[in-house]
Amino acid sequence: MIHPLSDIGAIATFFKDLSLHCSERGMQAAHEIIRTRISDRHLQEGLSLAADGNHPAIVGRYLSETLPQNWEPDLAQRVARAVSCWQTGQPLDEIMLCFHAPVSE
């Protein structure tokens, strides 16, 4: 289960699995994997908002307001950026960069 204390590798693996799952079955199929592999309610809600087709700005604002409450700031930024990349259909390599490239200040 992904939560605020998960290591970055586990979170990256989740996003890889989520991306591959959705590329095979469509964005709406994301709900099951989100529900079964995310324990943090704010991340779960943000991903669900994204999967439901809410505007990326709304999803981004929600995540930027809620994730920092429990997540380390650097990791919260990386996760929010990965959600945005996933939601907007960026290639898997781009999503994975969120977990390896430095976070801009």
The residues, any chain, with a CB within 8 Å of residue 12's CB and separated by 6 or more, are: 96, 99, 100
Place of tokens 């087709």: 53
CA distance linking residue 99 with residue 105, whole number of Å: 15
How does pLDDT run across 64-82, given as a tens digit for each residue? 999 999 999 999 999 999 9
CA distance linking residue 28 with residue 52, whole number of Å: 7
* Domain assignments of the chain as residue spans, ordered by start: 8-97
The total of other beta-carbon atoms located within 10 Å of residue 64's CB is 13
**In the chain, pLDDT over 90 holds for what percent of residues?**
90
CA distance linking residue 71 with residue 90, whole number of Å: 24
**Amino acid 81: pLDDT:** 97
The mean per-residue pLDDT over the stretch 13-37 comes to: 94
Q: Is the pLDDT of residue 12 over 70?
A: yes
How does pLDDT run across 49-60, given as a tens digit for each residue? 999 999 999 999
**Amino acid 101: pLDDT:** 74
